[in-house]
Amino acid sequence: MEFAIDTKGHYDFINITPQVAQAVAASKIANGLVLVFIPGATAAITTMEYESGLIKDITATLEKIAPDNFDYAHHQRWGDHNGGAHIKAALIGPSLTVPLEDHQLQLGAWQQIVLIDFDETPRQRTVIIKISPSE
């Protein structure tokens, strides 16, 4: 299963838990593993408490690690300005695996599945979901 989602780019945090839960419900698989993956090198998938304060904190922390305004070798090679986006996406990663039990994602009380788009422009992203039953 997959779905498309429009992003704004540049630290766009999107809660995709409802779409993943919908895919789980449609699968009829009760127990197993749910893989959520985003193709591309400038976006990531993670879990977090999806709230504005934490979004600001994560953004500020990642800007300290890989600031957008740094002169990356990637910019010099390709003529674009998304080297920081590539680094942030690589640090967080493109995928997440969540246990599934009794048709329910095993997320914590405040834990949501979040797509973060770091690229410099809006994009249409594809999120791929694979659900594997446990034996």
Averages of pLDDT over runs of 10 residues in the chain (135 residues) are: 96 98 96 98 98 98 94 78 92 98 97 97 97 90
Instruction: Residue 117: give the domain boundaries.
Output: 2-133
What pLDDT is stored for residue 103 in this prediction?
95
User: Is the Cβ–Cβ distance between 104 and 55 less than 8 Å?
Assistant: no
What pLDDT is stored for residue 106 in this prediction?
98
Q: What is the CATH number of the domain that holds 11?
A: 2.60.120.460
What pLDDT is stored for residue 74 in this prediction?
79
- For residue 113, the one-letter residue type is I
* Domain total in the chain: 1
What pLDDT is stored for residue 52 in this prediction?
97
- Residue 7 and residue 74: Cα distance in Å, rounded? 23
Which of 53, 56, 42, 55 minimizes the C-alpha distance to 94?
42
What pLDDT is stored for residue 51 in this prediction?
97
What pLDDT is stored for residue 99 in this prediction?
98
- Considering Cα of 2, then 130, then 55, then 51, what sign does the dihedral take? positive
